[in-house]
Amino acid sequence: MFVPLHDGSRVLVRPIAAEDAPLLRRFHQRLSPETVRDRFLSAKPRLSSSDVRYLTDVDQHGHVALVAVDPERPERLLAVARWVRDPAHPEAAEAAFVVADHLQGLGLGSALAIALADRAVEEGVTSLSGSMLAGNVASEGLFRRMGGEVEVLRDGVTNEVLTSLPAHTGRLALLAHNRRMRPGRRTPVAPVVPVRLVA
């Protein structure tokens, strides 16, 4: 699906494929050390062959991964988002996001968060969680965009975020439509729900 961004450009959001392995390597190499640390919670200058295989060769049911690409340059990844189902609790999954530095703040992460939530509901997942460094309010915000009640467990240098998911899908199409009707809108289309903090 084509999704407009706040600067007037648009991206194509699609499932990742095993053939994206070299694209993912190049994408990772272009990320700043800060963005890599926010995604992996530590320094990770390069992805190993096993990393790349795990991150690209997914079944799109228990492990769902989406990418955003420039329609004019489809060989260049702009963002990656994924969730992995918990085998012990198949209705729950862990989510992660990473957006190219130059596109952060333009609504791409929000679009991917909503796309992930839509796919999760389609696959019977009712809640998504994520681990992030303390102070990473942007990532916390992505979980709020998913549309459910958000709970944040703050524990030293990392936070655990859990969000319930709405029962309906189709919200990515609605977001794309709203952005086309209101270009340049910088406030989220999906309502931001209150966050409940857990000591």
Neighbour-count burial for 93-110, b at 16+ CB within 10 Å, e otherwise: bebbbbbbeebeebbbbb
The pLDDT assigned to 33 comes to 96
The pLDDT assigned to 191 comes to 37
The pLDDT assigned to 145 comes to 87
Residue 54 has pLDDT above 80, yes or no: yes
Residue 188 has pLDDT above 60, yes or no: no
Residue 82 has pLDDT above 60, yes or no: yes
Interaxial angle between packed helices 137-145 and 108-122, expressed in degrees from 0 to 180 and rounded to the nearest 10:
50
2-198 maps to CATH 3.90.25.10: no
The pLDDT assigned to 184 comes to 58
Using alpha carbons, select from 63, 57, 65, 55 the residue that is nearest to residue 24: 55
- What residues does each domain of the chain span? 2-198
Residue 197 has pLDDT above 50, yes or no: no
Coil, helix or strand at residue 48: coil
- Average pLDDT over the chain, rounded to an integer: 89
* 137 phi/psi in degrees, rounded to 5: -70, -25
The model's pLDDT over 83-141, given as tens digits with 9 standing for 90+, comes to 999 999 999 999 999 999 999 999 999 999 999 999 999 999 999 999 999 888 888 88
The pLDDT assigned to 134 comes to 87
Bigger pLDDT: 179 vs 54: 54
Residue 76 has pLDDT above 50, yes or no: yes
